[in-house]
Amino acid sequence: MNNFHTHTYLCKHASGTPIDYVKMAEKSNCTALGFSDHCPYPDNTWPQVRMKHTEINLYKKQVNEAKEVANFPVYFGFECEWLPRFKSWFSDVLIGEHGAEYLILGSHWVPIDNHLTYIFNVKKKTDLKNYIDLTIQGMETGLYKFLAHPDLFLGCVSNIDSYYLDLSKELISAAVSLNIPLEINGNGANRKKITRDGKLEYPYPVEAFWELAGKSDATIIMSSDAHKPETVIKDMNNAKEFADRLGLKIQNTAEVLGFDEKIIE
């Protein structure tokens, strides 16, 4: 089993160093591990949930140290949002200057009245539509290897009506067209359940979204979105249990991304 959505203590809301995650992953016969901590921004956007830009070299150093001790391939990446003004930061700085081996798109915000609002706090359907448009725009850049938690925009929705289903279909269709894999995120099962359409569910993964994705030609992968070393593989199992229950076909993330992994006989 491999995982390409892993955080570290540097993002200020996770714990553990890359080596801590590697040691824990080795206990579960991990075949490849990608670090994708929340990227910093040059203008200090959302500083409370990400490393400082001055800490990029420290982060890279720690990932490289983890590569040296791991018995499986380890990769250096970032989880990034999308705004047009950051395009050169992603391509020229994170990838070009610092050598990030991959970026993933974690769409957490939408601009509302010149303020970046966290998607769980968005109430108006028109703002959700803008969120979907912004996410698709990011996917169209070709900068990102996959879309993390694509159903996050439904995380606080208690009644998924036709409007939300149409937004889901639009996002899934774009992912298929652009050949962007969609991630079932195992970290959602660590959140408090909500009442959705008359039953208790985790905020995400969202059954209604993934039922649509399963009927499409979308490439579906899974990740743990680990914020603690002990969840690096455990939350992969959360994602797998969800996928199995819905009968979803999961692709090998390392193979889909074109990365090497340890061969287990």
Question: In the prediction, which pLDDT does 10 show?
Answer: 98
d(CA 216, CA 203): 22
Question: In the prediction, which pLDDT does 265 show?
Answer: 54
| Angle (nearest 5°) at CA 4 between 74 and 110 | 135
Give DSSP secondary structure letters for 161-198: -HHHHHHHHHHHHHHHHHT--EEEEGGGGGSPPEEETT
pTM of the model: 0.97
Beta-sheet pairing, 220-223 with 115-118: unpaired
Residue 264 has pLDDT above 80, yes or no: no
Q: Which residues pair with 116 in a beta bridge?
A: 111
Output the average pLDDT for the chain.
97
Portion of the chain with pLDDT greater than 90, in percent:
97
State which fold the 2-257 domain adopts: TIM Barrel (3.20.20)
Cβ-Cβ contacts under 8 Å for 11 (sequence gap 6 or more): 37, 38, 49, 50, 51, 227
For the chain, the structural domain boundaries read 2-257
Residue 58 has pLDDT above 80, yes or no: yes
Give the length of the chain: 265
d(CA 239, CA 242): 5
Residues 205-218 have a mean pLDDT of 98
Q: What is the pLDDT of residues 59-102, one digit of tens each?
A: 999 999 999 999 999 999 999 999 999 999 999 999 999 999 99
Q: What is the pLDDT of residues 93-135, one digit of tens each?
A: 999 999 999 999 999 999 999 899 999 999 899 999 999 999 9
How many helices and strands (H and E) does the chain possess? 8, 10
Q: Do residues 165 and 132 make contact, with C-beta atoms less than 8 angstroms apart?
A: no
Cβ-Cβ contacts under 8 Å for 197 (sequence gap 6 or more): 158, 159, 160, 208
Residues 23-44 have a mean pLDDT of 96
Q: How confident is the model at residue 263 (pLDDT cuts 50, 70, 90)?
A: confident
Burial class (CB in 10 A: 0-12, 13-18, 19+), 196: buried
Residue 252 has pLDDT above 90, yes or no: yes
Residues 219-231 have a mean pLDDT of 98
